[in-house]
Amino acid sequence: MSESAAVTTVDDLETGKGPSESLWGKAWYKFRRDMPGMVSLGVVGIYFLIALGVWFGIWGQGWSDNNGPMWATPSSEYWLGTNVIGQDIFQRAIYSTRTAFEIGLVVAVLSTIIGALLGALSGYFSNSWIDEIILWLMGVLDSIPFYLFVAAIAFALQGNPYSMHVAMIATFWTTTSRLVRGEVIKLKNFEFVEAAHAVGVPQMKIIFRHILPNTNHILLVQSTIVFVGAIKSEVILSFLGLGVSDGVSWGLMIAESTQDVQAGHFSNFITASTFLFFLVMAFNMFSDSLQDALDPKKVH
Amino acid sequence: MEILQYSLRKLITGIPLILGVTLISFVLMVYYGPDKTYELVGKNPTAEQIAEVRHELGYDKSFVVRYGEYLKELATMDFGYSDSTGERVSSILVRTIPISLALIIPGFVLGNLLGIILALVAAYHRGTWTDKLIMGGSVVGMSISFLIVIIAFQIIFSSSYGLNWFPVRGWEVYSFMDYLRYVTVPTLATIFVSLGYNTRFYRAVIVEEMGRDHVRTAKAFGTPPTQLLLKSILKNGAIPIITRIMFSIPLVVISGSLLIESYFGIPGVGKVTYDAITTGDQPILKAVVGLTAALFVVTLIINDIMYKMVDPRVSLK
């Protein structure tokens, strides 16, 4: 990635004067004036702090203790009541925040990296055999029904707790890759690439140091979309029994709450749904505002 | 004639895709999939009995031979008998695919139609509070998990805590009234979940088309709004719309209904496939995956032909 561009961004962030001339400076200037965007970033930040607190063992550690009464109503001891085996619903929801961030971050970062690398290669070598192979691979992965693919990977990896992550990464990178490919095809005809060729910069350096950093805005927006997609998929996969197997997640809580609901206890369901909803909602809005700030041509 | 030639050429270029999908699925689901041997042999089996069962299931053959046999099955559309129930795979599919289609089509069609209508309203009132309300609602709709919608709708419509109007689960359809009773709640859930995404997508397409020069010119010439909408806006926006609808079809047929089918206990093809994965019923898996891949290639071809129909400039060469 280009270090000089990153430095300018940080400077803009701290000085906070009028819009700088760089894409990132302008974007940050625009984003700061976008109320829903700033609020949603704040909400995501709060969730991230909750997740950090769980990582450092500050809260949410009693999520698996099952010494409470069955289906207790909310009280000062159990803030949101307990589930069928007497576990504290509030603590479980807090701990699940960590699970959600782990899944979202791992899947978003890795699928973005794979998508960027393969997309850049196939865009730069468009219409060659490299491009053909990468396009074929994307076509194949997109044609396998997602849930069947996850189930198949889960069984092939014999209960490995990361089989869900692997399946999501293996399927989510294709969208990023297609976007990067399109952008790189456009960029490779620009003069700066021609200039780099002329002074003899090696081909791989041109692709990954000169062209790819110019797609960073696409990668950033796309990774927020993947993050949301991963969290939402986790819920459905955990319900189908293909998701989180060690620990607890909102998906598992919702899955186990179907029994509670039949018995008329809604706390588990409502708590997990609410936690999930506000994080996904904030991330969706953040992603929208980010797109608005980074894409000057976007039509409203 | 041109279309026929084009389709044949595309079918041939679709072969690598089908090979890729079948190969990856074969490796994952069949080669490394669950082993059924010990379910089928009796108690305290001898080594010969185990070998015999493994031979029947084809486990003793080499990878290449097994994959080759699969391709032959796919080409002849004869997948043999299910390992679990002994029923012919083709008869299972003939029984379950119509159920899945009957379950998913109303929600799919209504979700897209409502999406287009809401998008038109939002685009027409662009920038006003109507637009903001609709688009805000879309983001909220997009943020609610499908699973939450299904559970919540079941509580509201099918449980004694709510309205209790519809059956909780199952699929005992003998008449049109039965069909409506069982299909309503799943359909409402499907519409609710897809509406946010659809509205946003269609609004983006419509707004983009509305800003084009020819639309402004047509407006200046006094073209009536309906004609403007149908001829200048929707016709030009047809390509992204067709792409979106066409490409959801293969996935909607198989996995779109999986969650609904497993939650509502409906014996459609999604449920059958899911059960086949978890139990290792290879003939069914092979059939479903192979057919999905073939459906994808056919969809790609129909998609390109439809491009040509809405936009004569598109060349099928």
Taking alpha carbons only, the member of B89, B221, B274 closest to residue A152 is B274
The helix (run of H) or strand (run of E) holding residue A210 is none
The helix (run of H) or strand (run of E) holding residue A162 is none
Q: What is the pLDDT of residue A300?
A: 62
Q: Between chains, do B204 and A299 touch, taking CB under 8 Å as contact? A: yes
Q: Between chains, do B145 and A240 touch, taking CB under 8 Å as contact? A: no
**CA distances, A222 to each of A225, A227, A290, B115 (Å):** 5, 9, 10, 24
Q: What is the pLDDT of residue A18?
A: 59
Which residues of chain A neighbour B262 with C-beta distances below 8 Å? 240
User: What string of pLDDT tens digits covers the 317 residues of chain B?
Assistant: 677 888 888 788 888 888 888 888 888 777 777 676 766 777 777 777 788 777 777 777 778 888 888 888 888 888 888 877 888 888 888 888 888 888 888 999 999 999 999 999 998 888 899 999 999 999 999 999 888 898 888 888 887 777 778 887 778 778 888 888 888 899 999 999 889 999 999 998 988 888 888 888 988 998 888 888 888 888 888 888 888 888 888 776 665 578 888 888 888 888 888 888 777 787 888 888 888 888 888 888 888 888 878 877 777 66
Rounded to a whole number, what is the distance in Å from the CA of A299 to chain B's nearest CA? 7
One DSSP character per residue, B153-199 reads HHHHHHSTTTT--S-SS----SSHHHHHHHHHHHHHHHHHHHHHHHH
**Under 8 Å between Cβ of A251 and B285:** no
How far apart (Å, rounded) are the C-alpha atoms in residues B156 and A258?
14
Q: What is the pLDDT of residue B288?
A: 85
ipTM, two decimals, is 0.82
Rounded to a whole number, what is the distance in Å from the CA of B295 to chain A's nearest CA? 9
B205, B207, B212, B216: CA torsion to nearest 10 = 140
Which residues of chain A neighbour B25 with C-beta distances below 8 Å? 144, 148, 152
Q: Which residues of A105-118 are buried (b: 16+ CB within 10 A; e: fewer)?
A: ebbbebbbebbbbb
User: What string of pLDDT tens digits covers the 300 residues of chain A?
Assistant: 344 444 445 544 555 555 667 778 888 888 888 888 899 999 999 999 999 988 888 877 777 777 777 767 777 677 677 776 777 888 888 899 999 999 999 999 999 999 999 999 999 998 899 999 999 999 888 888 787 788 778 777 777 888 889 999 999 999 999 999 999 999 999 999 999 999 999 999 999 999 999 999 899 999 999 999 999 989 888 888 887 777 888 888 888 888 877 777 888 888 989 999 999 999 999 998 988 888 766 666
Length of chain A in terms of residues written: 300
Q: Between chains, do A236 and B147 touch, taking CB under 8 Å as contact? A: yes
Q: Which two tokens stand for residue A95?
A: 């701990």
Size of interface A-B (CB pairs under 8 A): 127
B303, B306, B307, B308: CA torsion to nearest 10 = 130
How far apart (Å, rounded) are the C-alpha atoms in residues A206 and A227?
29
Query: B102: burial class by Cβ within 10 Å (0-12, 13-18, 19+)?
Result: middle
How far apart (Å, rounded) are the C-alpha atoms in residues A34 and B135?
16
Q: What is the pLDDT of residue A89?
A: 82
List, in order, residues 6 or more apart from A182 with CB less than 8 Å away.
A123
Nearest to A281 among B139, B161, B258 (CB): B139
Q: What is the pLDDT of residue A192?
A: 92
How far apart (Å, rounded) are the C-alpha atoms in residues A166 and A242?
12
Rounded to a whole number, what is the distance in Å from the CA of A282 to chain B's nearest CA? 9
Q: Between chains, do A251 and B147 touch, taking CB under 8 Å as contact? A: yes
The helix (run of H) or strand (run of E) holding residue A54 is helix A35-55
Q: Between chains, do B254 and A258 touch, taking CB under 8 Å as contact? A: no
Q: Between chains, do B25 and A277 touch, taking CB under 8 Å as contact? A: no
Q: Between chains, do B151 and A254 touch, taking CB under 8 Å as contact? A: yes
Q: What is the pLDDT of residue A2?
A: 41
Rounded to a whole number, what is the distance in Å from the CA of B293 to chain A's nearest CA? 6
